[in-house]
Structure 1
Amino acid sequence: MSAADVLGVLAALEGRGIPAWLDGGWGIDALLGEQTRPHEDVDLVVPAPDVPALVELLGAQGYRVTEGRLHSNFVLTDDAGHKVDVHPVVFDAEGNGHYTMENDEIWVYPATGLAGAGRIAGVRVRCLTPELQLITHDGYELDEDDRRDLDAIRRRFDLP
């Protein structure tokens, strides 16, 4: 997906009052303030109560659910092959986002980790913090893009 594609999705969501935080490769590039590589999708963390409106909104733009379950992780794809990978969260009173993984375990996005901000093509966007990006990439086999992304975050933000 291009920067313009990502900004289009974010603008559409914002226009409907649906907050979204960038995760994954675009989230890292937002933190770095530049696109460092091609991305096949955009990963978004969104409030679970907004999922039906998100699916309806993106459906009107030609996206359809092609993978996953709406209460957990799911992917919407359009005819051009653009993919929006959605991670719905339920917020608690402290602002932590509780995410139901595909195995039905709960993973918590700490409120402090949702305070990130970055830029895509000069436009300010919400994203995970650098620290939370590192945590979300722990516990599974990383591909070469992931390794490069995380190395770039560690260097830029002086993280271990």
Structure 2
Amino acid sequence: MRGGEAVLSLGEMLRVLNALHTTGCDVWVGGGWGIDVLVGRVTREHHDLDLLHRAEQERLVVGELESLGYAERPGVVPGRPARFVMTDGHGHELDLHPLHIAEDGSAVQHLDDRGAALHYPAEAFVTGTIEGVRVRCLSVGQQVAFHQGYEPRDRDLHDMASLRAAFGVTTHF
């Protein structure tokens, strides 16, 4: 562990994704792991795994993650309906984001009970490959969009540099 956070390895990420896939859960990887999946290799240490899932499958997702030793961590801010966090006894952290998927493939993530929401176009959901494994993830454009409007941390600077190098995109930092 570094800074009180456990490193979430590629092996753990793939173990979680495989279990959810085997159970029929639709999930997409976002955040730093999502960028590494797009780039096709591990570029840095990760301390959590951002997973977007179909809201209607939440009980199935949570049940499968509980069978892997994860439990919901109370008191996360912001919490539901925007997101919730599950951790295991090894300090691994999963940041789960419920999505309401429309028939056209677009999605909405409700942020609060007052109507605030994030909107995902259908083209935000793509597939990348890491270590020869195909992984559903957020697109380059969606990742770039999520990395704006705040003061970047070192890992954000690294992630955007990885996308610029791999895809030649323009980023905000």
Contact map agreement 1:89 1:99 (CA 8 A) in 2: yes
Is the deviation greater in 56-65 or in 67-76?
67-76
Q: Percent identity?
A: 36
Please state how far the C-alpha of 1:151 moved relative to its aligned partner: 1.6
**Partner AA of 1:152 in structure 2:** S
Q: CA RMSD in A?
A: 1.5
Superposed counterparts of 1:72-111, under 5 Å? 72-102=82-112, 105-111=116-122
Please state how far the C-alpha of 1:156 moved relative to its aligned partner: 1.2
TM-score normalised by the chain length of structure 1:
0.93
Write the deviation string for residues 88-118 of structure 1: whole angstroms up to 9, x where unpaired: 100122211100125751111111011x221
2:132 equivalent in structure 1? 122
Is the deviation greater in 10-19 or in 150-159?
150-159
1:157 equivalent in structure 2? 167
Please state how far the C-alpha of 1:72 moved relative to its aligned partner: 2.1
1:42 equivalent in structure 2? 49
Write the deviation string for residues 51-85 of structure 1: whole angstroms up to 9, x where unpaired: 11111111122101113545321110000011111
1:4 equivalent in structure 2? 11
Q: Which runs of 5+ in 1 are unaligned?
A: none
TM-score normalised by the chain length of structure 2:
0.86
Contact map agreement 1:71 1:88 (CA 8 A) in 2: yes
Give the greater-gyration-radius structure (CA): 2
**Partner AA of 1:110 in structure 2:** P
1:15 equivalent in structure 2? 22
Contact map agreement 2:27 2:52 (CA 8 A) in 1: yes
**Partner AA of 2:121 in structure 1:** P
Q: Which runs of 5+ in 2 are unaligned?
A: 1-7
User: Match of 2:103, SS?
Assistant: coil
**Partner AA of 1:50 in structure 2:** Q
Please state how far the C-alpha of 1:28 moved relative to its aligned partner: 0.3
Number of equivalenced pairs: 159
